[in-house]
Amino acid sequence: MILEELAFLVIAAVAIVTAANALLVRELVHTILWIALFFVDLAALYFLLAAPFLGVLELGVYAGAVTILLLFGVMVTRKRIFAREAVTGIGPAPLLLAGLVLAVVVVGAEELPSGEGTVHAYAPALLSQALFNADGPWLLLLGLAMLSALAGAIYLVREGRE
Amino acid sequence: MSAFSPAGLLALSGALLGLGLFGILTRRNFILLLISVEIAINAAVLNFVYFAAFSGSSSALSGQAIAVVLIGLAATEVAVGLAIVLGLNRLRGSINVAEASALRR
Amino acid sequence: MSVLTPLLAYAGLVPLLTFLSFVLVGFLGNRLKGLEWGGWIAVLLSGAAMVVGTLVAVAEMLSPGQYTDVSYTWLTVPGSPGTFPNGVSLVIGFLVDPLSALMLLVVTIVGFLVMLYSIGYMHHDHGLPRYYAELSLFLTAMTGLVLADNLLEFFLFWELVGVCSYFLIGFYYEKPSAASAAKEAFLVTRVGDVLFLLGIFIYFATYATAGGGAGWAASGFKFANGTQPFLGPLVGTNTPLLTVAGLMILGGAAGKSAQFPLHVWLPDAMEGPTTVSALIHAATMVAAGVYLLAVTSVFLGFTPDDQFAIVAIGGITCFFAATMAVVNTDIKRVVAYSTISQLGYMVLAVGAGVTMVGMYHLFTHAFFKALLFLAAGSVIHAVGTQDLFKMGGLRRTMPLTAGAFLVGALSLSGIFPFAGFFSKDDILGSVFQAAQAHPAYWPFFLLALATVFLTSYYIFRAWFLAFGGPAPRDASLPTAHEGPWVMRVPLIVLSGFAIAAGFFVFDPAFASLLPGAGVPPTYTATDLGLSAVSLGLAGSGIALSYTLWGNGRIAAAPTGIAAQMRTVLLNRYYFKVGYDWIGRRAVYTVARSADFVERYVIDGTIRGFEKLFSRGSDLLRRAQTGIVSDYAGYVVAGLVGVLLLILYVGPAIVQSMGGG
């Protein structure tokens, strides 16, 4: 299916470009705009992979909530919202590490599966069954993690703490 | 029922992971650090979704389920991370992690 | 059998009594000023010990040859088949046989008399509780040694007498010369002790293991009662291992009895109180070496090569020590050299195979030598110096002491009918006989004979210098006077022994304590001739001495070669210098190289490691930046490493091992 291949290539290109831009631009607000684009792009990819529930989740949680949170963080910590970041150099150790990772990835590329795979679609109802399955109480665990994170976050930002 | 090459998908998630790592290792701004972590986590979530999609078995749905949990966890992590940002900012007037080197001692 | 026979089982009382004295005086002596700081307790208990010891000896005389052994096993190591079949047991016991009964008699009598004499002699000294406690402990150790029924117990008490000797030589420890003399005595005898221990090891290895046979060690190294020595069948032949063991025992005896070449410590040991010299370094402890040789020859046996070595050591020592006594001017040292010389006679006799003759001389010598020391002690006590050249004319102010010293001197010179005559003559006669069978003994017999002349010369030189002449040569000396009765009584008693002890052996009951060839001495025509020769030699020694020193004036210092000889003799043949040189060269060289190894090799390695780690940790410390990104980098690096390991390195290893 040439159309889907094409769509994937476009989406992948956009994902890489937006992610790279998010990390490389020097205004933090621009970074957040780019990362919002990145999240929307990923949502599109999920739709392409026949996972519409995840796509919606990505849009709602990432492109919506997380982006707003990050923006909020920038607003609170900056006097001028469009202030530019100072350029930071890259030391030899990260470069060496990057080279190493690149080598692993290049070598690992040979291990990638060739040929085409078929994308299977599932009804979202089945996903909800999986999520609420008593054998794997994913949502319960997630709820617990969020609750403790909430407590931790409140503790961290409490006033008058030194 | 559509079909396309999984190799590209894996390469994409590898590239995104690499970008995330690059950000984590080189950026000194805490918010950028958070964003880098998000990129890396999304690369991992993508892998779960891929394998769920390409696998024919019904138990593969647990891949999507894990993806859901991961998205939730990532959102939580951002919330906690921002709390840290606020605390750090109040404490030091800056969110440069190079200055927050209290771990040394 | 007699009524006294059951007493033989209680010989252990003797060391117990003196040990009681040690404990009482040692712990309570400081509060007993009225009792001479515990001295009278020591006198009382050593007197009791003397009574028991004498009774035991009498009981042994009344049942001749009785062998009474009371022993307790305190450790048993079971044997294992093969290399160690018999096992070994260690025992502590008290053995009364003729030999130990004789020694017990000597030790307790002399011990009591010296203890009594000490009351007067030591009266003005400080630290008396220490003195009496140590002397009591010495008596305990010495009687324990005498009564030991096995070689290990013997060694135990042997070491204990050594340490008591060390304490008592160093009694005036604030005097540097006394402290160093104590150390010297301890170290030199230590050389012998190590050899002795090696000898025990060899006997153990030979008789505890499969090849050795009879399981001597299994019975606890005990001196078994038998008609012939334990090694009986082997004694006549030169078995290399047994020869070496015998030489080791000889080494131990040479250390304790100050035999050549380990004689250097005894003259220096005269730094201790004179009473100590009389008891330990004349009558008892130094005789322990001879006793060891006697016990070994009776119960274990020596090989012919050993016997020759013993004869050689004894012969050389008796002459060699006598020459050094000839020029000495210190009254105690002259007597000390004569002790070494007389011990040489005893060793000579044991080596020549007439063990009991040697023990006979030990018996008489203990009395006349203790007498000489105590008389010398009286002189020193009265005039406050030991220098013979400063004394003179003392026979007028101290007639009793002069007489006692004269008796001792006559006995030492071997003049008829004093005790020394019989025993020394017996030795000369026996060695003369032995030399006819073993021509190699001749030179040592001749040395021993020459020593007779030297002995009478030097001891009478001492007598003439101290007691002869009109008045002290050094006018600053205090006017001499006799000591109190506690000092006079021992002199009289010992004089009696020095005159009469020689006759004892002609009583068959007493002679049963010395069951062996040559006792009592027989007087054939040859023996009489020999006696005449030795009497002649002794007489000419006295005559020469009288000619040179009889008028109480000091002869002009010799010149020429005689002066050189005198220097050599006064420097004791430079033995001490040589030992010091060996010590400095050999020991310091070893010590220096050990120091080098320690300082640079061992410490260097340790310091190297220390530098490695401190430098390395300095480097590693830089990795701890405290910056989160850097830690994340380490995590990623580790992850990559693990991935590489799992994906590539692991499979490569598995493949190279021929697996999967």
Pick from A75-89, C6-20, C301-315: least confident: A75-89
Residue C214 has what pLDDT? 56
- Cβ <8 Å between A97 and C640: yes
pLDDT in tens, C124-152: 888 888 888 999 999 999 999 999 888 88
CA C95 to CA C11: how far, in whole Å? 8
Q: Span C252-274, mean pLDDT?
A: 86
pLDDT at C111 over 70: yes
CA nearest B32 in C: which residue? C629
Residue A102, min C-alpha distance to chain C (Å):
10
Per-residue CA distances from C602 to C209, C605, C614, C616 (Å): 40, 5, 18, 21
How close A148 gets to chain C, by Cα (Å)? 23
Asked if B27's CB is within 8 angstroms of A38's CB, the reply is no
Residue C411 pLDDT class (50, 70, 90 cuts): very high
Question: What tokens appear for A29 in the block?
Answer: 């607000």
Over 70: is that where the pLDDT of A14 sits?
yes
Whole-angstrom Cα Rg for chain B: 17
Domain ranges of chain B: 6-97
What value does the mean pLDDT take over residues C489-503? Answer: 88
Rounded Cα–Cα distance for residues C420 and C365 (Å): 7
Mean of the per-residue pLDDT values for chain A? Answer: 81
Q: At residue C476, does pLDDT exceed 80?
A: no
Long-range contacts of C79-84 (CB under 8 A, 24+ apart): C79/C218, C82/C210, C83/C209, C83/C210, C84/C208, C84/C209, C84/C210
Alpha-carbon distance C418 to C420, whole Å?
6
At C407, the pLDDT band (50, 70, 90 cuts) reads very high
Cβ–Cβ below 8 Å for C628 and B100: yes
What lies within 8 Å, CB to CB, of B10 at 6+ separation is: A112, A113, B47, B50
Non-local (6+) Cβ contacts of C292 within 8 A are: C154, C158, C196, C249, C252, C253, C256
C636 to chain A, closest Cα gap in Å: 8
Asked if the C-beta of C30 comes within 8 angstroms of chain B's C-beta atoms, the answer is: no
CB of A4 within 8 Å of any CB in chain B?
Answer: yes
Q: Band the pLDDT of A1: cuts 50, 70, 90.
A: low
Please determine, for residue B86, whether its predicted confidence score (pLDDT) is greater than 70: yes
- Which DSSP symbol is given to A85? P
Close Cβ partners of C457 (under 8 Å, ≥ 6 residues apart): C326, C541, C542, C544, C545
Tell me how far apart the alpha carbons of residues C346 and C258 are, in angstroms, rounded to a whole number.
12
Rg (chain C; Cα; Å)? 31
Report the distance separating Cα C116 and Cα C4, nearest Å. Answer: 27
Q: Which of C625, C632, C633 sits opposite B101 (nearest CB)?
A: C625
Q: What is the DSSP pairing of strand A117-119 with strand B2-4?
A: antiparallel
Cα separation, B39 vs A15, whole angstroms: 10
Cβ distance C626 to B104 less than 8 Å, yes or no, reads: yes
Residue C291 vs residue C394, higher pLDDT:
C291
Could you tell me the CA-to-CA distances from C445 to B57, C193, C448, C537 in Å, in that order?
A: 117, 28, 5, 14
CB within 8 Å: C629 and B103: no
Q: What percent of chain A has pLDDT over 70?
A: 81
Count of alpha carbons within 13 angstroms of residue C284, beta-carbon side? 34
Q: How far is B1 from chain C (nearest CA, A)?
A: 34
- Cross-chain CB nearest to B82 (options A4, A73, A122): A73
Amino acid (1-letter code) at residue C262 = L
Q: Domain spanning B6-97 has what CATH number? A: 1.10.287.3510
A&C contacts, CB < 8 Å: 15
CA distance C616 to chain A (A): 19
Closest-CA distance, C636 to chain B, in angstroms, reads: 8
Q: How far is the CA of C260 from the CAs of B81, C344, C355, in angstroms?
A: 94, 9, 19
Cβ of C640 within 8 Å of Cβ of A104? The answer is: yes
The string of pLDDT tens digits covering residues A138-149 is 788 888 988 998
Residue C230 binned pLDDT confidence (cut-offs 50, 70, 90): low
Is residue C79 very low, low, confident or very high in pLDDT (cuts 50, 70, 90)? confident
* Beta bridge partner(s), residue C72: C92
CA distance C190 to C185: 8
> What residue of C is the nearest CA neighbor of B103?
C626
Closest chain A C-alpha to B97 CA, distance in angstroms: 12
By the 8 A CB rule, do C202 and C245 touch? yes
Locate the chain C residue with the closest alpha carbon to A91: C630
Residue of A23, A112, A118 with shortest CB distance to B32: A23
In chain B, the residue whose alpha carbon lies closest to the alpha carbon of C622 is: B104
In this structure, of A110-119, C184-193, C379-388, the range with the lowest mean pLDDT score is A110-119
- Spatial CA neighbour of B12 closest among B53, B52, B42, B55: B42
User: What's the whole-number mean pLDDT along residues C357-363?
Assistant: 90
- Which chain A residue's Cα is nearest to B75? A66
| Pairwise CA distance, residues C446 & C142, whole Å | 34
C651: closest CA of chain B, how far (Å): 23
Q: Compare C239 and C649 and report the one with higher pLDDT.
A: C649
Mapped onto helix, strand or coil, the DSSP state of residue C88 is: strand
Q: Which site among A96, A104, A106 would you substitute to test the C interface, given the most C Cβ atoms closer than 10 Å to its Cβ?
A: A104
Using the Cβ of A46 and the Cβ atoms of chain B, whether some distance falls under 8 Å is answered with yes
Q: Are C629 and B97 in contact (CB < 8 Å)? A: yes
Please tell me what DSSP assigns to residue C626.
Answer: -
Judged by CB atoms closer than 8 Å, whether chains meet at A146 and B80 is answered as no
Tell me: pLDDT of B100 over 90. Answer: no
Return the amino acid letter for A60.
G
pLDDT in tens, C155-181: 999 999 999 988 888 888 888 888 888
Please identify which residue in the block is written with the tokens 């519409």.
Answer: A52
- Of C411, C337, C398, nearest to C367 (Cα)? C411
One-letter amino acid at B82 equals L
At residue C210, the pLDDT reads 47
**Which residues of B are less than 8 Å from A125 in CB distance?**
none
**Helices (H), ranges, C170-239:** 176-208, 232-235
| Chain C residues 556-615 within an 8 A CB cutoff of chain A | none
Q: What is the pLDDT of residue A36?
A: 92
Least confident of C79-93, C99-113, C533-547: C79-93
Q: In terms of Cα–Cα distance, which of C141, C266, C247 is closest to C195?
A: C247
Chains that touch C (3 or more CB pairs under 8 A): A, B
Query: Hey, which residues does C89 pair with through a beta bridge?
Result: C76
- Exposure letters C420-452 (e unless 16+ CB within 10 A, then b): bbbbbbbbbbbbbbbbeeeeebeebbebbbebb
CB atoms within 10 A of CB C77: 14
Tell me what pLDDT residue B2 has.
63
Decide if A73 and B2 are in contact by the 8 Å CB cutoff.
no
pTM, 2 dp: 0.66
Are B25 and C629 a contacting pair at CB < 8 A? yes
Q: Which DSSP category does C85 fall into?
A: -
Name chain A contacts of C643, Cβ cutoff 8 Å. 104
Nearest to A119 by CA among A53, A49, A46: A49
Interface membership of A74 toward B (CB under 8 Å): yes
> Residue C285: its pLDDT value, please?
87
Q: Give Dmax over CA atoms of chain A in angstroms.
A: 61
Confidence class for position A103, pLDDT limits 50, 70, 90: confident
Give residue B105's pLDDT band: very low, low, confident or very high (50, 70, 90).
very low
Number of Cβ within 10 Å of residue A67's Cβ equals 22
Cβ C498 vs Cβ C370: under 8 Å: no
The residue type at C133 = A
Alpha carbons B68 and B51: distance in angstroms, whole number: 14
User: How many H helices and E strands in chain B?
Assistant: 3, 1
Q: Report which of residues B26 and C597 the model is more confident about.
A: C597
Structure tokens at C357: 């003759």
Measured between CB atoms, does C633 come within 8 Å of chain A?
A: yes
Please determine, for residue A41, whether its predicted confidence score (pLDDT) is greater than 90.
yes
Coil, strand, or helix at residue C478?
Answer: coil
Least confident residue range of A50-64, B56-70, C324-338, C402-416 = B56-70
Query: If you count DSSP H runs as helices and E runs as strands, how many of each does chain C have, helices first?
Result: 27, 2
Mean pLDDT across chain B: 81
- Cβ of C624 under 8 Å from any chain B Cβ? yes
Q: d(Cα C266, Cα C288) in Å, to the nearest integer?
A: 14
Burial class (CB in 10 A: 0-12, 13-18, 19+), C33: exposed
pLDDT surpassing 50 at residue A25? yes
| CA separation for the pair C409, C458 (Å, rounded) | 10
Q: Do C633 and A94 count as a contact with CB atoms less than 8 A apart? A: yes
Q: In a mutagenesis test of the A interface, which of B61, B69, B84, B94 is the best target, namely the one with the most A β-carbons within 10 Å?
A: B61
A80: tokens are: 């001028």
Rounded to whole angstroms, how far apart are CA atoms C367 and C408? 9
With 0-12 CB in 10 A as exposed, 13-18 as middle and 19+ as buried, what is A123? exposed
Q: Do C629 and B104 touch (CB under 8 A)?
A: no
Instruction: Establish if A70 touches chain B: CB-CB under 8 angstroms.
Output: yes
Digit-coded pLDDT (tens) for C554-563: 766 677 777 7
CB C324 within 8 A of CB C576: no
**Residue C74 scores a pLDDT above 60:** yes
Does residue C621 sit at the B interface (CB-CB below 8 Å)? no
What is the Cα–Cα distance from C246 to C303, expressed in whole angstroms?
A: 7
Please say if the pLDDT value at position C229 is more than 60.
Answer: no
Phi, psi of B98 (to 5 degrees): -65, -25
Query: 3-class secondary structure for C223-261?
Result: CCCCCCCCCHHHHCCCCHHHHHHHHHHHHHHHHHCCCCC
CATH number of A1-103: 1.20.120.1200
pLDDT of residue C234: 55
Min mean pLDDT across C13-17, C403-407, C416-420 is at C416-420
Tokens at C229, concatenated: 């020595």
Q: What is the mean pLDDT of residues C610-623?
A: 86
Is B87's CB within 8 Å of A157's CB? Answer: yes
Which member of C624, C626, C629 has the closest CB to residue B24?
C629
Give the bridge partners for C71, in sequence order. Answer: C93
Q: Closest approach of chain C CAs to the CA of A136, in angstroms?
A: 28
Q: Which two tokens stand for residue C70?
A: 């009371």
CA distances in angstroms from C318 to A113, C447, C450, listed in the order given: 107, 8, 10
Report the residue from A94, A97, A104 with minimal CB separation from C644.
A104
Query: C131-135, C266-270, C454-458: which has the minimum mean pLDDT?
Result: C266-270
Determine the residue of chain A that is closest to B76 in CA distance: A146
What pLDDT is stored for residue B42 in this prediction? 92
R_g over Cα of chain A: 20
Section C461-474 average pLDDT: 82
Nearest CB partner across the interface for B19, out of A19, A57, A74: A19
Touching B (3+ Cβ pairs <8 A), the chains are: A, C
Mean pLDDT of C462-470: 84
Contact A100 C640 (CB under 8 A): yes
Q: What pLDDT does residue C108 have?
A: 92
Average pLDDT of C207-216?
A: 57
Identify which of A97, A104, A108 has the shortest CB distance to residue C633. Answer: A97
Mean pLDDT score of chain C, rounded to an integer? 84
Q: What is the pLDDT averaged over residues C534-560?
A: 81
- Show residues of chain B in contact with A39, CB under 8 Å: 42
Question: Rounded CA gap, A9 and A4, in Å?
Answer: 9
Residue A63 is classified by DSSP as: I
